[in-house]
Structure 1
Amino acid sequence: MSSKDSCRSELRIAVRQLSDRCLYSASKWAAEQLVGIEQDPAKFTPTNTRFQRGSSSIRRKYRTHDMTATPIAGVSYVATPVMEEDELVDGDFYLLAKSYFDCREYKRAAHVLRDQTGRKSVFLRCYALYLAGEKRKEEEMIELEGPLGKSDAVNGELVSLERELSTLRKNGTIDPFCLYLYALVLKQKGSENLARTVLLESVNSYPWNWNAWTELRSLCTTVDNLNSLALNSHWMKDFFLASAYQELRMHNDCLSKYEYLLGTFGYSNYIQAQIAKAQYSLREFDQVEAIFEELLRNDPYRVEDMDMYSNVLYAKECFSALSYLAHRAFTIDKYRPESCCIIGNYYSLKGQHEKSVMYFRRALKLNKNYLSAWTLMGHEFVEMKNTPAAVDAYRRAVDIDSCDYRAWYGLGQAYEMMGMHFYALNYFKKSVFLQPTDSRLWIAMAQCYETEQLHMLDEGSNCSAPTSKAALRAGAP
């Protein structure tokens, strides 16, 4: 079996297994990669040719490997993701519980499975309890502090779930899906090292759950963390490494890894979007714009990642294109955080900062941890000269992601506006450390050194960095 056929076979089974366990985002991701594999020309039929898009100049640029000859790095250590030995143990009860789960009746689903012992049932019961706790936590946050306020609300199911899942793991009866759930519980309770270990066990046992890889990536905050992982050899490892390199700002390594993956997943919209994200970080706005234009042609109802596209259009002051994108997002799904972010950028470019803030607040009502919205709202408050509100927004952003250089830069701007130059300098230094190739940050730090309050002219003159027109135009959020 060829590499592509092997990947295709594994993904088809994984999509069903993930969907059966209500891991819908992981199932969607797997299905998108399945369609992203180039079809065998000998098997073309009128029903599947609509997925076979022509190789654009963008794809040709990154697809340097021969599609029929390039194998994916690593050998699959599990031929196919078959783990359904208990398929019929709790079948009818499981189907009922899953129907309740799909209707967001989580406690009811867990109750149906209270006496079932099959692995799928144990996982779904625990997962339903976890989501019931998350739902209640969100409700308490809204009731106690309002949708944007801080709250001490916690998931009330964590203690009992930790006890049960820990026991299953010690007994050796836990499956990879429950390991993933156990890691989520540990992460929320602050046991990040153990959570990383448990996630490693999960992905090594069942590598097709992209949710587990995503959580593992979030716990690899340093290169040392990443290098310490004893990952088994599998093609999913390449997707993980590419994503981890991106988060660690190793953009060239990230692009090389995605280029390699395109050898098999040559039509993956996900990979194209990640390439655009890496190039956005490198300030290659023209190439990013071209990729997103193609993505929208291929997937016209796509909303995810389009907020990044709106940032590019904002930076290039492409008013008509941003207006069209905002209208499209509003029409497709106006209550997605990304849609609200796009519309917020549109009003910001028009100079209507109050309306812009309103849409960023709406995005945060939908997802309080939506990093871009906090940073963008901080920018709007700076434009409105409301520095206390800007500082609060930026601090919420760095609480979510301490590597968001835009938020640190924003804090520097805000404190500079308040005449607190020592604080501003500290934040500018943080932003430069995280994004050393952005000349705008170096210029801001130099100007801060040269203020009357600091008057450190030598230090200011030493602030230099590689300059580029893209970097100097990087006023985008």
Structure 2
Amino acid sequence: MTTHRAQLRAAVRDLSDRGLKCSAKWAAEQLVGLAGGPLDDEAGTSDAPMSPAEEVGSREEEDQLLLAKAYFDLNEFKRAAHALRVARGASGRFLRWYSLFLAGQKRQAEEEAEERSGGAGAPGSLLGKPRASNQHLPLLNAELTAARESEGLDGFGHYLHGIVLRELAQPALAREALLRAVSAYPCLWSAWTALSSLSGADEAPLELPDTWVASFFLAHQATEAHDSARAVSLYESLLVQWPRSLHELLAEDPYRLDGVDTYSNILYVREEKRKLSALAHSCVSTDKYRPEACCVVGNYYSLKGAHEKAVLYFRRALKLDANFLSAWTLMGHEYVELKNTAAAVDAYRRAVEIDAKDYRAWYGLGQTYEILAMPFYALFYYRKATALRPYDSRMWCAMAGCYKQLHRRGEAIQCYHRAEKNDDREGIAFTELARLYRENGEDAQAAGYGSADCRDMSMHMSMTRPGHVPQAAGYYERMVAQREAHGEAVGKELSEARALFFLCTHKKSTGDLDAAQTIGQRLLDLGGPEKDQVKALLRDIQSQRKAGSGGGPPV
């Protein structure tokens, strides 16, 4: 415990000195979140090596470092880099590299803003044009590679090298650099989060260093993968040693905005308008120019149906942080509601460029192309979403819908079976499987006898391919049972009435006259276009009873 405390105290100073503000904040939050224990200043030894011994260089360089840090804190990044152009110490070199990187990122954001303001499209709409890039990346990559191969880099240098490689679209090398960073300096939280963003679901598990920070990383990774059950379990285990951690408890810090956009998404899905309104007001009063606050307000307007206002706030979030993933995805949803499919596609594409693991953006792309009646494209994106969420029935139902449009009934049935096995709470899979099996039976019957010979439903039922009708009837029964368990009336819609009629006819043909009469009477009470057919069916059932046929199918 004391070693954790000493390590975190040193980390807050080291990270702050290098301008890594987010990581410094995380380390400070974990410091105050530790369970009670000695609060002395004993040095202790960390569970993994910290940064190499600082190369102080000369007193003049130390003074230059203080000046450069003052420029850095005022966002004068090029000026800070220039002040450290001859730095030799580890801190000075890192701050120069980091200043150059941020200067390039700042200029890239300015160029993208200029391009957006010059066009009439949605934010990020740069069709036909290469997007702006950080012009300092090649220089930084060359210098960091040379430094690593000669005298070596500390954990901070490896972290920055990983970020540069990520921006240069070299994910494998970026992962290696980031793993070296977290091994050399475990408390560098930004390196962990960057590593999570580069770790795909289809890749081999990472060989993480043996450090307590890895537990926070695994919980964060589960959250990012939307594996809620595992994330909750991991965070609950962390509470034992970190009971006051602000990383976990929003109630401990009412002015915390980190992750509040995710909380607003939950309130949105649950349609808790009052709570979402209160959260939006709280965020705006705390800091209305934080991208998280803008997303909360955007969600509030979306829940009210004011989609244009919602887009306005999501755009504002992206002006504050062009790589804010949640805003791109949510804005894509709003453009779908506004039927602006081109802008929706562009927003979703930007989201998957930032994080290829965002299944919501892949799913949104599939929905958008489905709206555009382009099922082949939609299927491609639904497959991406399903690979990320293999246990989500909605993904499988969406894929099945595309296969249906493409008249690939066999693949559609397979997808609905996957949805059924993954807790299809909405009952879509049951209904669609029943319909598909019924259609398979009808096709077999039509191929063998011709539709003109099968106008009578009882004859139709007896001549369909064995297996299809019982399967269809079984899924219709499960659909009815699920709807009734949720208190929903079944049979009011035409498709449901036809399903009940099919089920009634099947029960009659198999000799289950009691069940057939119960369903038929229910259909008769509901009325509808097939009322006369239901009456005829009930008369047939009564005739079979009187004839004492034993419930067998009519000859």
> Equivalent residue of 1:403, what SS?
coil
Q: Is the 8 A contact 1:113 1:121 kept in 2?
A: yes
Q: 1:408: Cα distance to partner? A: 2.4
Residue 15 of structure 1: CA displacement? Answer: 0.2
- The answer (yes or no) to whether the contact 1:141–1:149 under 8 Å persists in 2 is no
**Alignment-mate amino acid for residue 324 of structure 2:** Y
Question: Aligned to 2:240, which of 263, 270, 274?
Answer: 263
Structure-2 change in CA distance of 1:187 and 1:444 (3 Å): closer
Q: 2 CA distance for matches of 1:81 and 1:174?
A: 9
Matches within 5 A, 1:363-374: 363-374=317-328
**Paired AA for residue 384 in structure 1:** L
Aligned residues of 1:245 and 1:254 also touching (Cα < 8 A): yes
CA contact (8 A) 2:363 2:381 kept: yes
Equivalent of 1:467 in 408, 412, 423: 423
Secondary structure at the residue paired with 2:289?
Answer: coil
- CA–CA distance in 1 between the matches of 2:255 and 2:101? 31
* Structure 1 residue aligned with 2:6: 9
Give the equivalent residue in structure 2 for 1:18. Answer: 15
Specify the alignment match of 2:264 in structure 1.
310
Q: Which amino acid aligns with 1:259?
A: E
Residue 198 (structure 1) aligned to one of 174, 177, 187:
177
Pick one of 45, 53, 56 that aligns with 1:86: 56
The equivalent of 1:243 in structure 2 is 220
Query: 1:409 and 2:369 equivalent?
Result: no
Question: 1:262 Cα shift?
Answer: 2.3
User: What is the CA–CA distance in structure 2 between the aligned matches of 1:301 and 1:170, rounded to whole Å?
Assistant: 45
Distance apart, 1:163 and its partner CA: 2.2
Cα 1:421–1:186 change in 2 (3 A) is closer
Alignment pair present for 1:114 and 2:85 = yes
Aligned to 1:152: 131
The amino acid of 1:464's aligned partner reads E
Partner in structure 2 of residue 39 of structure 1? 36
User: 2:123 aligned with 1:167, yes or no?
Assistant: no
What TM-score does the superposition give when structure 1 sets the normalisation length?
Answer: 0.78
Name the stretch that deviates more: 375-384 or 80-89. 80-89
Cα distance in structure 2, aligned partners of 1:171 and 1:403:
36
Given the superposition, is the C-alpha separation of residues 467 and 114 from structure 1 closer, same or farther in structure 2, using an over 3 Å criterion? same
Alignment of 1:28-427 (within 5 A): 28-40=25-37, 76-78=47-49, 83-84=53-54, 86=56, 89=59, 90-146=61-117, 148-150=124-126, 151-222=130-201, 224-227=203-206, 229=207, 231-248=208-225, 252-272=229-249, 295=250, 297-427=251-381
Partner of 1:48: none
- 1:308 deviates by 1.1
Within 1, Cα distance between the matches of 2:149 and 2:232? 40
Task: Indicate the SS of the match to 2:420.
Answer: coil
What's the offset of the Cα at 1:426? 3.7
Amino acid at match of 1:438: D
Offset at 1:397? 2.2
2:423 counterpart SS class: coil
Q: What is the deviation of 1:307?
A: 0.9
Shift of 1:299: 1.1
> CA shift at 1:170, angstroms?
1.2
Task: Decide whether the 8 Å contact of 2:400 with 2:411 is kept in 1.
Answer: no
1:75–1:366: structure 2 CA closer, same or farther, 3 Å change rule? closer
Output the amino acid matched with 2:409: M
Aligned partner letter, 2:81: A
> TM-score scaled by structure 2?
0.68
Structure 1 vs Structure 2 CA RMSD:
2.9
Paired residue secondary structure (1:269): coil
* Percent sequence identity over aligned pairs: 48
Once the two structures are superposed, residues 316-348 of structure 1 have per-residue CA deviations (whole angstroms, 9 ceiling, x without a partner) of: 111111111111111111121111111111111
Greater length-normalized contact order (CA 8 Å, ≥ 6 residues apart): 1
Contact kept? 2:80, 2:96, Cα under 8 Å = yes
Distance in structure 2 (CA, Å) of the matches to 1:334 and 1:325: 12
- Whether the 8 Å contact between 1:442 and 1:465 is mirrored in structure 2 is no
Residue type of the partner of 1:28?
K
Q: In 2, Cα distance between the equivalents of 1:449 and 1:194? A: 38
- For residue 32 of structure 1, report the CA deviation from its aligned partner: 0.6
Q: Give me the whole-angstrom Cα distance separating, in 2, the residues matched to 1:192 and 1:422.
A: 29
Provide the aligned length of Structure 1 versus Structure 2. 412
1:206-263, Cα deviation, whole Å (9 max, x unpaired): 2221112222222222464433x3x432212222233334445555554443333222
Q: Is the CA contact (8 Å cut-off) linking 1:179 and 1:202 kept in structure 2? A: yes
C-alpha separation between the residues in 2 aligned to 1:470 and 1:369? 34
Amino acid across the alignment from 1:233: D
Please list the CA deviations of residues 61-90 of structure 1 after superposition, one character each: whole Å capped at 9, or x if unmatched: xxxxxxxxxxxxx98133x76844528743
Q: Take 2:351 and 2:139, find their aligned partners in 1: how far apart are those partners?
A: 31
- The answer as to whether partners of 2:197 and 2:355 remain within 8 angstroms in 1 is no
5+ residue gaps, structure 2, are 118-122, 429-555
DSSP 3-state at the match of 1:391: helix
Q: Give, in whole Å, the separation in 1 of the partners of 2:54 and 2:279.
A: 44
| Distance verdict in 2 for CA 1:82–1:186, change over 3 Å | closer
On the 8 A contact 1:246/1:254 being kept in 2, the answer is yes
Which region of structure 1 is more displaced relative to structure 2, 422-431 or 462-471?
Answer: 462-471
Q: Check conservation: 2:109, 2:322, Cα contact below 8 A.
A: no
8 Å contact kept, 1:75–1:233: no
Which segment is superposed worse, 301-310 or 253-262? 253-262
Give the drift of 1:145: 4.0
Stretches of structure 1 that go unaligned for 5 or more consecutive residues are 45-73, 273-294, 473-477
Give, in whole Å, the separation in 2 of the partners of 1:21 and 1:471: 54
Query: How far apart in 1 are the matches of 2:426 and 2:36?
Result: 38
Q: Is the 8 A contact 2:107 2:134 kept in 1?
A: yes
